[in-house]
Structure 1
Amino acid sequence: MGTLGFWRLAQADPEWIAAVDPDGTEHRAGDLLARANRLVHGLRELGLQPGDGICGLVPNGADGLVLYLAAMQAGWYYTPVNWHLTGPEIAYIVSDSEAKAFFVHPRYLGEGARAAEAIEPHRRFLLGEDKADGFRQVSELTEGRPDTAPADRTAGATMHYTSGTTGKPKGVKRRLNGLDPDDSAELMTFLLGLFGITPGRPNAHLITSPNYHTAVTQFGGTALHMGHTLVYMDKWDAEELLRLCERHGVTNSHLVPTHFKRLLALPEETRARYDLSSLKWMIHAAAPCPVPVKWAMLEWWGDCVYEYYAATEGGGTLATPEDWKAHPGTVGKAWPISELLIADDQGEPVPTGTAGTIYMKMMGVPFEYKGDPAKTAANRLKEYFTVGDIGYLDEDGFLYLCDRKADMIISGGANIYPAEIENELMIHPKVADVAVFGIPDEEWGEQIKAVVEPAPGVEPGPELARELLASLEGRLSRMKWPKSVDFIAEMPREPNGKLLKRKLRAPYWEGRDRAI
């Protein structure tokens, strides 16, 4: 070991442009290194110890990267927070993660200030030059602090929050490995190595999605540790992606199938305008990709489109372009450090070609859902875990997905959990019963549908639908609001109270394969 890892690379070549913000601002590796070092010194003075956590409510760009780099060399857990959430939802994560510092970007000060009640005032920091009541300026932590490497460096980890069927998100927490941060970073590069991605320059990794997603942090962080330049997008725009790929010689990125649909919708002359010859490893995941869409991308971009299937919890499969062409529709074969098991409802393995629950396991540090041993245990089968997806293996060991988790909605690559939405609608006095599920959407994959049984004497109709949606304001982020509300006289439930959601969902999916 000894050639990779951001901190080593930045010392060896401080002039390397390690990150480019969405507005085009370039950041030298040496400057990012100094900022991260100063932050560690400042937070240690605040009392942070290895094993403590920090939260960041920050947009894509160098500010969040500095938080990540500080935590990764000081033995802290870093939790990037979804900036679409409301104040109470953010406060829950800040509190549950037991964060010892909370960093807010001025762009998200509105909800960030509501959330800040969850942490002591001297632990709240506003990034940039702005001032705000109830927050300290981040310069209070960093000014006058040395930009030299802190003593006793030890590897930290990210702790991303992933929702469960209860709707309340849970932090996926792994034991800290105690390694030197650069050695730990070098071990991380194994992931990108699976795709054949090479270290060093000239390589650039384009970040197309919000930094609070696990895969975005993992792939971006790993690319940086391999010496790639991180190029950040602020919001998704198909032509902007092509422009950035040409401008920065992008070689690799992480995308979702919704991005492909938007790219393919561009006029032919727009698509032809940009030089994409630098693309080598354009990786996608997060939702099943329709077979015709994948073929179209391979025809346009060539054999640089890679696919994988994995979870925040770990494990996974990989399909190279060659693999996928030979097995269209597959999400790939198990990684060398991962194993797959397809099991029936009794937990017994099923034969090849038979659908069952997908279980995975991965070498290395096991995870737990923070503060929820019951959820951790419930998702385990021996040393395997599942996120509840259904699929089958072919005779060559390639995995195909048949259905998503029973109830989860995947819209534009984002996981949305109906129970959380149902809980919020259920408290409305005019609602007797409610079910939320995904229905087909050509652009987003799925959109959110609510079916409501009105309370006795309440008139169903568009006016009631508007009232119910308006009741979610400030309590649930807009991305979780149902796109439409239908009404039903009586909700189909079994005598034991179990909702027959498949019965409700089926008419909307008739004649369609939900796996695509």
Structure 2
Amino acid sequence: MSANPYNTDLDRTPANYQPLTPLMFLERAATVFPEHTAIIHGPLRRSYAAFYARARQLGSALSHRGITRGDTVSALLPNTSAMLECHYGVPMCGAVLHSINTRLDAAIIAFQLDHAMSKVVIVDSEFMPLMQEALALCSVQPLLIEVDDPVYEGARIKTEAVDYDSFIADGDAEFAWLMPEDEWDAISINYTSGTTGDPKGVVSHHRGAYLLAQGNALTTTMGKHAVYLWTLPMFHCNGWCFPWTLSAIIGTHVCLRQVRADQIWNALADEGVTHLCGAPIVMSLMISAPADVQRPLDQTVQFFTAAAPPPEKLLADMKTAGFEVTHLYGLTETYGPAVVNDWHQSWSELPHDEQSRLKSRQGVRYLPLEGLNVLDPETLEPVPHDGETMGEVMFRGNVVMKGYFRNPDATRKAFEGGWFHSGDLGVVHPDGYIQLKDRSKDVIISGGENISSIEVEEALYRHPAIAVTAVVAMPDEKWGETPCAFIELAEGAEIDTDALRQWCRDQLAPYKVPRKFVLTEIPRTSTGKIQKFALREQAKSLC
């Protein structure tokens, strides 16, 4: 076979090829719109020129301390301006950013620091006691840097940590930061929850971050100078890559240390917020706020949510309050959201119950994702597009992780057959939209029959007295497993378990009706996801 003539004497050179990296978004924003407001954090208003200069100073200061390509810099920070600076300054010196969930315990943090071989830890004053406890359990001895955020009103402890502002003040605002040697170079590492063993370190690369950051803007119809409110933790999949997206569209970050209803409504009204992301619990927090806390809005706000589909009433309340809600789906291994419930205009003319049914689906692939399908996990054959046949949701493309850090066996298993295996079970509808039915570990097998916990939850959510519900497997001597429903009631609502059982009998096959109903507060992760592993343990004790 002859060589491709279009490859002859047409080589990659610095003139026609540069590695893709989202760091260039900030450089361009600071060059083209230097005075545009990049960050709002309490009384702070910071321009793109100042944002870029501080990020370069951070990269320079880290470089002066010997931090270089492949080193890990960890950050235990809330949604503050310092966390945004870390998303740029850390990779500017070639290092890899490790964002730590602020709600983890010290032992898990210590595991992550050791596993990631952290050389620097940047910590907010609020979390310094937690970090001190974690460092006492560590083998690594990283340089400790403390961010004293003026917005933080709590207590501070004395430490030997280096002050963050003093640290970056020693850096060069004109630092000639490092482009990645290869766009496949790691830009971040984020750890999974570790509910079935030690957490796994998900490694992301510059190319994927660049592509998903742009994909966010296209998918969410973010116009130039959009205003984004940080209700989604930046430690969660690097804030779904939105720290980089906002620079691409020269938008404004509105930071929140805490997700509180009053602060959210004030930011929406006072700062002209156009977009925000969060779990359904954030919507519930906003809508359930007292009338004197909620503020009238002059703009329609785009709200992007993941996790379980929001209840129909919550969606209706959000729309009345001036929000357009779009369902996204993804995993840490896909840089955050890689699937979107792209809405067809004609669907808005359908009855509300039909619209709710359509909104409950996860949807279709993001623009930068090359492959999304529901496959038989054994044969890797696509399931029929009938909305009924279940398979495993699988991904393929440039916004899939490099792999799990220092865990080749888990990486090999995750990529078997040339697809990333999500562990989520779903169906494909005739129009090609996918819908999750369960996590593979959450399917309830009762008497040989598979029961989708999501199907039972959807039936319960239709009851007006129920605010939040989660259904898990409960051991049963006769059937092996039966459903157990944990329920949080809506404010002021009352209902007994006999009424709930009858409600389920009216909507579900008999074997799918929960054997037990538990009215309780449901445990959640810091990102609002329900901790089903904890509920499964509770269910065992109820047998």
When the two structures are superposed, what TM-score results if normalisation uses the length of structure 2?
0.69
* Inter-CA distance 43–439: structure 2 relative to 1 (3 Å threshold): farther
Q: d(CA) in 1 for partners of 2:237 and 2:399? A: 18
- What's the CA shift for 1:78? 0.6
- Could you tell me which of 155, 173, 192 is aligned with 1:147? 173
Q: d(CA) in 2 for partners of 1:363 and 1:484? A: 35
- What's the CA shift for 1:127? 2.2
Residue 442 (structure 2) pairs with residue 396 (structure 1):
no
Indicate if the aligned counterparts of 1:102 and 1:119 stay in contact, CA closer than 8 A. no
Q: Which moved more, 1:312-321 or 1:38-47?
A: 312-321
Instruction: Report the residue type matching 2:76 in the other structure.
Output: L
Q: d(CA) in 1 for partners of 2:484 and 2:90? A: 37
Per the alignment, residue 223 of structure 1 pairs with 246
Per the alignment, residue 137 of structure 1 pairs with 163
Residue 413 (structure 2) pairs with residue 343 (structure 1):
no
Residue 315 (structure 2) pairs with residue 294 (structure 1):
yes
Q: d(CA) in 1 for partners of 2:406 and 2:264? A: 39
Q: Which moved more, 1:167-176 or 1:2-11?
A: 2-11
Alignment of 1:104-503 (within 5 A): 104-117=123-136, 118=138, 121=141, 123-128=143-148, 132-139=158-165, 141-154=167-180, 157-164=187-194, 166-177=196-207, 185=210, 188-198=213-223, 200-201=224-225, 203-214=226-237, 216-266=239-289, 271=294, 273-279=295-301, 281-301=302-322, 304-314=324-334, 316-322=338-344, 327-336=358-367, 337-347=369-379, 348-352=381-385, 353=387, 354-363=389-398, 366-407=401-442, 439-442=485-488
Indicate if the aligned counterparts of 1:18 and 1:28 stay in contact, CA closer than 8 A. yes
Indicate if the aligned counterparts of 1:286 and 1:309 stay in contact, CA closer than 8 A. yes
Instruction: Report the residue type matching 1:34 in the other structure.
Output: A
Indicate if the aligned counterparts of 1:209 and 1:233 stay in contact, CA closer than 8 A. no
* Inter-CA distance 297–138: structure 2 relative to 1 (3 Å threshold): closer
Per the alignment, residue 500 of structure 2 pairs with none
* Secondary structure of 1:388's aligned partner: strand
Instruction: Report the residue type matching 2:215 in the other structure.
Output: F
Indicate if the aligned counterparts of 1:195 and 1:320 stay in contact, CA closer than 8 A. no
- What's the CA shift for 1:267? 5.1
Instruction: Report the residue type matching 2:318 in the other structure.
Output: M
The gaps in structure 1 that reach 5 residues or longer are: 411-415, 419-434, 445-478, 492-503, 508-516
* Inter-CA distance 4–196: structure 2 relative to 1 (3 Å threshold): farther
- Could you tell me which of 108, 122, 125 is aligned with 1:89? 108
Q: d(CA) in 2 for partners of 1:103 and 1:227? A: 26
* Inter-CA distance 135–4: structure 2 relative to 1 (3 Å threshold): closer
Per the alignment, residue 79 of structure 1 pairs with 98
* Inter-CA distance 111–366: structure 2 relative to 1 (3 Å threshold): closer
Q: 1:198-235 CA deviation, whole Å, 9 max, x = no partner?
A: 2x22x201111322111625123312332110001222
Residue 48 (structure 2) pairs with residue 29 (structure 1):
yes
Give the share of equivalent positions with the same residue, in percent: 22
* Secondary structure of 1:66's aligned partner: helix
Q: d(CA) in 2 for partners of 1:241 and 1:250? A: 10
- What's the CA shift for 1:164? 4.3
Q: d(CA) in 1 for partners of 2:393 and 2:231? A: 28
* Inter-CA distance 109–341: structure 2 relative to 1 (3 Å threshold): same
Indicate if the aligned counterparts of 1:258 and 1:443 stay in contact, CA closer than 8 A. no
Q: How many residues align?
A: 424
Q: d(CA) in 1 for partners of 2:322 and 2:374? A: 33
Q: d(CA) in 1 for partners of 2:411 and 2:27? A: 34
Instruction: Report the residue type matching 2:326 in the other structure.
Output: Y
Instruction: Report the residue type matching 1:395 in the other structure.
Output: P
- What's the CA shift for 1:61? 0.7
Q: d(CA) in 2 for partners of 1:59 and 1:379? A: 31
- Could you tell me which of 65, 89, 93 is aligned with 2:84? 65
* Inter-CA distance 170–481: structure 2 relative to 1 (3 Å threshold): closer
Per the alignment, residue 26 of structure 2 pairs with 6
- What's the CA shift for 1:167? 3.0
* Inter-CA distance 150–116: structure 2 relative to 1 (3 Å threshold): farther
- What's the CA shift for 1:101? 0.9
Instruction: Report the residue type matching 1:188 in the other structure.
Output: A
- What's the CA shift for 1:134? 4.2
Q: 1:132-151 CA deviation, whole Å, 9 max, x = no partner?
A: 43423335633433211324
Q: d(CA) in 2 for partners of 1:29 and 1:58? A: 21
Indicate if the aligned counterparts of 1:88 and 1:115 stay in contact, CA closer than 8 A. yes
Q: d(CA) in 2 for partners of 1:144 and 1:254? A: 35
- What's the CA shift for 1:91? 1.4
Q: d(CA) in 2 for partners of 1:134 and 1:294? A: 49
Per the alignment, residue 430 of structure 1 pairs with none
Task: Please provide the CA RMSD for this pair.
Answer: 3.7
Indicate if the aligned counterparts of 1:116 and 1:124 stay in contact, CA closer than 8 A. no
Q: d(CA) in 1 for partners of 2:163 and 2:147? A: 7
Per the alignment, residue 464 of structure 1 pairs with none
- What's the CA shift for 1:128? 3.2
* Inter-CA distance 392–229: structure 2 relative to 1 (3 Å threshold): same
Q: Which moved more, 1:76-85 or 1:125-134?
A: 125-134
* Secondary structure of 1:378's aligned partner: helix
Indicate if the aligned counterparts of 2:265 and 2:293 stay in contact, CA closer than 8 A. no
The gaps in structure 2 that reach 5 residues or longer are: 1-19, 150-155, 349-354, 444-452, 455-469, 473-480, 491-530
- What's the CA shift for 1:259? 1.8
Q: Which moved more, 1:33-42 or 1:142-151?
A: 142-151
* Secondary structure of 1:113's aligned partner: helix
- What's the CA shift for 1:237? 2.3
